[in-house]
């Protein structure tokens, strides 16, 4: 009896989440197509850097590529 309830629950859960998954795939394919059409708009092509006067970070370089005692110079 418990096994039957578990199987019914999993079947219902799979059918409910499958529709949402299809929408996510559709949105990803649209986003990828837009990035191919306009590669400059892609986040992958944007360079992030820390502005002058802001504290230096290990993961993001300074825009000037110079890190002083008080921050980026």
Burial (CB < 10 A; 0-12, 13-18, 19+), residue 72, is buried
Sign of CA dihedral 10, 15, 16, 19: positive
pLDDT one-digit tens code per residue, 29-48: 667 666 666 656 555 555 58
pLDDT at position 25: 59
* Domain residue ranges in the chain: 1-42, 43-72
- pTM of the complete model: 0.33
Q: What is the mean pLDDT of residues 41-63?
A: 76
């Amino acid at each position: 009896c418990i096994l039957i309830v578990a199987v019914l629950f999993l079947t219902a859960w799979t059918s409910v989440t499958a529709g949402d998954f299809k929408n996510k795939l559709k949105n990803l394919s649209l986003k990828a197509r837009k990035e191919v059409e306009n590669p400059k708009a892609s986040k992958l092509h944007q360079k992030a850097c820390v502005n002058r006067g802001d504290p230096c970070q290990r993961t993001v370089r300074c825009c000037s590529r110079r890190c002083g005692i008080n921050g980026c110079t």
